[in-house]
Chain A
Amino acid sequence: MSHTGRTMGSAIRITNGRVYDPANGVDGCVQDLCIQDAKVVAEVPADARKIDATGMVVMPGGVDIHCHIAGPKVNLARKLQPEDKRLDVVPSTPYTRSGSGGIIPSTFATGYRYAAMGYTTAMEAAVTPIGARHVLEELHDTPIIDKGFYVLLGNNVFLYRLLKEGRREEFREAVAWWVNATKAYTVKLVNPGSDELWKGRRNANISDLNENIDQFDLTPLDVIRAFIETVNDLGLPHPAHIHCNNLGHSGNATTTLDTMRAAEGRRVHIAHVQFHSYGGEPGKNPTSRGPEIADYINSHPNITADVGQVMFGKATAMTADAPLAHLLKGVSGNKWVNADTENESGCGIVPFTYQEKVYVHALQWAIGLELFLLSKDPWRILLSTDHPNGGSFTMYPKLIRLLMDREFRNDEIRKVNQRAIRKTILGDDLAREYTLSEIAIISRAGPARALGLKDKGHLGVGADADITIYEDDPDREKMFSTPRYVLKDGKLIIADHEFRADHEGRILHATPAYDPDIEKAIRPFFEDYYSIRFDNYAVSDRYLHNHQVIPGQIIPAVQPQ
Chain B
Amino acid sequence: MKLAFHHRPEVPIEAEVITPEKLAGLSEAEVSALPLQYGNERVPLGEFFRVSGRYEGEILVEGDLSRVKMIGSGMSAGRIVVDGDAGMHLGVGMSGGEIVVKGNAGDWVAPDLSGGRITIHGNAGHLVGSAYRGSAMGIRGGEILIHGNAGNEAGNAMRRGLIAIGGDCGDFGGVNMCAGTLIVLGRLGARCGASMKRGSIVSMQPAPLLPTFGYACRYEPLYLRLYLLHLKRLGMSVGEAHIEGPYRRYSGDAIETNRGEILLLDA
Contacts and interface: CB of A to CB of B under 8 A. Distances in A.
Given A82-B132, A83-B132, A84-B134, 5 more contacts: A80-B134, A82-B134, A83-B136, A86-B132, A86-B134
A82 B135 CA distance: 8
B194 to A, nearest CB: 16
Contacts of B134: 80-84, 86
B133 interface: yes
Interface residues of B, number: 5
Interface of B: 132-136
A168 to B, nearest CB: 48
A84 B133 CA distance: 10
A86 B134 CA distance: 10
Contacts of A81: 134
A82 B132 CA distance: 9
Contacts of B133: 82-83
A82 B136 CA distance: 11
14 contacts: A80-B134, A81-B134, A82-B132, A82-B133, A82-B134, A83-B132, A83-B133, A83-B134, A83-B135, A83-B136, A84-B134, A86-B132, A86-B134, A334-B136
A158 to B, nearest CB: 38
A82 B134 CA distance: 6
A422 to B, nearest CB: 33
Contacts of A86: 132, 134
Nearest to B131: A83
Interface in A68-107: 80-84, 86
Interface in A197-248: none
A446 B133 CA distance: 42
B55 to A, nearest CB: 28
A100 to B, nearest CB: 12
Nearest 7 CB-CB pairings of A with B:
A83-B134, A82-B134, A83-B135, A82-B133, A81-B134, A83-B132, A86-B132
A81 B133 CA distance: 9
Nearest to A79: B134
Contacts of B136: 83, 334
A70 to B, nearest CB: 21
A83 B134 CA distance: 5
Contacts of A82: 132-134
A84 B134 CA distance: 8
Nearest to B133: A82
Interface in A286-342: 334
A192 B161 CA distance: 50
Contacts of A83: 132-136
Nearest to A82: B134
Contacts of B132: 82-83, 86
A122 B90 CA distance: 42
Interface string A425-450: 00000000000000000000000000
A82 B111 CA distance: 15
B40 to A, nearest CB: 11
A81 B135 CA distance: 8
Nearest to A84: B134
A83 B132 CA distance: 7
A483 B102 CA distance: 53
B92 to A, nearest CB: 11
A201 to B, nearest CB: 26
Nearest to A81: B134
A410 B59 CA distance: 53
A83 B136 CA distance: 9
A93 to B, nearest CB: 16
Interface centre among B133, B134, B136 (most CB of A within 10 A): B134
A86 B132 CA distance: 9
A334 B135 CA distance: 11
A369 B41 CA distance: 49
Contacts of A334: 136
A36 to B, nearest CB: 42
B134 to A, nearest CB: 4
A334 B132 CA distance: 16
Nearest to A85: B134
A342 B135 CA distance: 31
A80 B133 CA distance: 10
A332 to B, nearest CB: 11
A83 B111 CA distance: 12
A462 B41 CA distance: 47
A28 B135 CA distance: 48
A458 to B, nearest CB: 43
A81 B134 CA distance: 6
B148 to A, nearest CB: 29
B12 to A, nearest CB: 18
A349 to B, nearest CB: 13
A86 B135 CA distance: 10
A84 B135 CA distance: 8
B196 to A, nearest CB: 16
A81 B132 CA distance: 11
Contacts of B135: 83
A188 B150 CA distance: 53
A31 to B, nearest CB: 48
Interface in A244-286: none
A553 B168 CA distance: 72
A398 to B, nearest CB: 26
